[in-house]
Amino acid sequence: MKKITVSQIMKWHPCDRYPKERVRELIGSGKTLFEILKFAIPRADKEWVAMHILVSNKNGARIYYQIFRLWLRNELSDTQYYNRVIKATQKFLKEKAS
């Protein structure tokens, strides 16, 4: 699986909580999506990274989507919320593909 770099994340313009120095501390020379999803950061921030990876990797979007889906299923006990997030993600990816 391809590693995500500091420069990639900075091109996505993260929020003020993630200046380049902090991103560099977290990412180092690169991390996979699976590694990033294990970080001790807010779930919304992990989702933000995952969505950017999904959108920017048209060739590998399917595998990234499956990783994101499995991680999210493990994170959420609310099945209805999980289903809404997955449907919104699918819709978003479909719109980006067209």
Task: Tell me the pLDDT of the chain (98 aa) as tens digits.
Answer: 689 999 999 999 999 999 999 999 999 999 998 899 889 999 889 888 888 887 776 666 666 677 777 777 777 776 777 677 777 777 776 776 66
Which pLDDT does position 52 carry in this prediction?
83
What amino acid is encoded at 6 in this protein? V
C-alpha pair distances (Å), 30 with each of 59, 85, 96: 19, 27, 25
Which pLDDT does position 22 carry in this prediction?
97
> What is the distance between the alpha carbons of residues 93 and 30, in angstroms, rounded to a whole number?
24
Q: Which residue has the tokens 């420069």?
A: 7
* Helix, strand, or coil (residue 86): helix
